[in-house]
Every structure is written in structure tokens, then in C-alpha cells.
Structure 1
Amino acid sequence: MRLALAALLLTALPALAVETPLSAQQFEAYATGKTLTYSLSGEVFGTEQYLPNRRVRWAYTGDICQEGHWYEDADLICFVYDGEPEPQCWQFWQTETGLHARFNNDPEGTELSEVEQTEKPLYCAGPDVGV
């Protein structure tokens, strides 16, 4: 019985490790200098460029870019963007396929998955291009 319980616990440990949220230092080390594209339910949702000093540039797919910054709040990574003073806080964790993010206090369980990674900057079209 004890051996079976020990074996069960050991096989469950990797699954638990996957759900351990990244610390701010881990998130910063992973993301800084990269541009990550995220999907929601299999559809591309948006792309974020992670700049030095915890600055970010975000764009929903097909939308204009927003400048902002991020900070740590407990085990959450919170983003504040120009023109949107309300922080948007997420829990990030790393898997074999990249980052996953779960929106804080979301009854719908919004979860994003990293689907692309590059070191190229995020292309930002202006709002008045072609006018």
C-alpha cells in the first residue's frame, strides 16, 4: 500500500510542477527581449513585446498597439497600459510548449497559450495609416 501511494505521489509531482506560477524574476528572464503571440481557444488573440525595464507593447490581433508596463503582485503578473489605468493581472506558468496565462478572478477561466515566439519587434500600424 505504501509503495503504491509513493508511486502515485511521484507520478503526480510533474503535473503539479507545471501549474506552479512563475515568479516575476522567472517571467522576466523568459520574456524580456521576446515578442510572444498568444491564442485563446485555438484562435490567435494578440501579441506582446517584452521590453527592458518591464515595459511592454501589446496589440490584439488586427488592432493598434498599446504601450504599458508590468509589475508583480503576489503570484500575479499585472499589466497597466496607456489609456487603461485598471491593472490586468495574470498567473503565468511554463510548459513544454511555452507560456500559459490564466486571467485572475475570471469566472470564464480565460486562459492564453503561447503559440509563437520571436526576437523581432512587434509591428505597430498607426491608427491613421492611409488617411
Structure 2
Amino acid sequence: MTIGRILCRVILGAAFLPGWVSAQTVITPQAFLDAVVGKTLEFHEIRSGELVGTEQFLNRTVSVWREEGRGCVYGQITTPNGQICFLYDNDPDGVPVCWWPFLHEDRLLVRLASLSDGEIQEVRSITEDSLNCPSTPIS
């Protein structure tokens, strides 16, 4: 079963899951968080397929992000205006990075919530593995 179908079952509930997934289905930030809290996701750039980074969702308000070859960065999660936003500890401008999560052709994707940059990343792995980052905050 694909990641998109697994997430669809979590989000929609098995009783409401049709036999197919529409071309594009927007996922609310709350439903996205329901499906990923306690999990670790790998994000890949949609065009190149390159690993962008891995994010562990510790709870509904805190995550830890690790870019390939770099250390861990903790982020505060907010959900304004249908977006899921992250303000990371190392962010110099104090402006959160926001995304719109959605399903497309049975794939879980996130699109940068910016009109000037249409960056899209695909979730290619969802596990319960820890990133084993030091000093993991619990709240």
C-alpha cells in the first residue's frame, strides 16, 4: 500500500475511503498532524528526487528537522490559514516557513505556501524511527 493510501485512510477513515484518490486532495494541517505525530518523514525534492531532509514530529507543536549532512534543528509548529508552519531555532529572520499538504496521484506532497516560490516536496517514507537528536524538547 502506498504512503498516500495509508495517509488517506488515517485522514478520511477507512469507511469513507473511495477505491481511488482524486487528482489532488488538499489535506488540512490538523489532519496532516493527526497522521504524522510520533512519526518521522523523509522529504524529497519533487523534480530531482533528492533528499531535502528528515522531520520527526514529536507532538502537534514541536518537530525536529535534519538536513542531509547537518545537525538537528527544533521547530515550533503552527497552523494558520490552512497552512502548516515551522519556525526553526536557527532561523535568523524569525519568519516561519509554511506549507500546504496535499495528495496527488496517491502521493503525499507539500507545497511551499508562497506565491513567488512553488517548491514542492514529496514524502517518500513515514516511519516510527527516531532521529536520535540530543536534548529533544518534550513540549
Could you list the runs of 5+ residues in structure 2 that have no partner in the other structure? 1-20, 135-139
Residue 123 of structure 1 deviates from its aligned partner by 3.6
- Secondary structure at the counterpart of residue 95 of structure 2: strand
Give the distance between the partners of 2:75 and 2:96, measured in 1 at CA.
10
Q: State whether structure 2 residue 26 is matched by structure 1 residue 55.
A: no
Aligned residue in 1 for 2:81: 74
Q: Is the 8 A contact 1:28 1:54 kept in 2?
A: no
How many residues were matched structurally? Answer: 110
Give the distance between the partners of 2:68 and 2:115, measured in 1 at CA.
21
TM-score, structure 1 length as denominator? 0.75
- The two structures, once aligned, show a CA RMSD in angstroms of 2.1
Q: Is the 8 A contact 1:21 1:75 kept in 2?
A: no
The answer to which structure, 1 or 2, has the higher relative contact order (CA under 8 A, 6+ apart) is: 2
Which protein is richer in strand relative to its size? 1
Residue in structure 2 matching 1:94, options 97, 103, 108: 103
- Secondary structure at the counterpart of residue 63 of structure 2: strand
Which protein is richer in helix relative to its size? 1
Residue 83 of structure 1 deviates from its aligned partner by 2.6
Could you list the runs of 5+ residues in structure 1 that have no partner in the other structure? 1-12, 126-131
TM-score, structure 2 length as denominator? 0.71
Give the distance between the partners of 1:88 and 1:49, measured in 2 at CA.
16
Structure 1 stretches of 4+ moved >6 Å: none
**Structure with larger Rg:** 1
Residue in structure 1 matching 2:128, options 109, 119, 123: 119
- Secondary structure at the counterpart of residue 35 of structure 2: helix
Alignment of 1:22-33 (within 5 A): 22-33=27-38
Task: Tell me which amino acid in the other structure corresponds to 1:48.
Answer: E
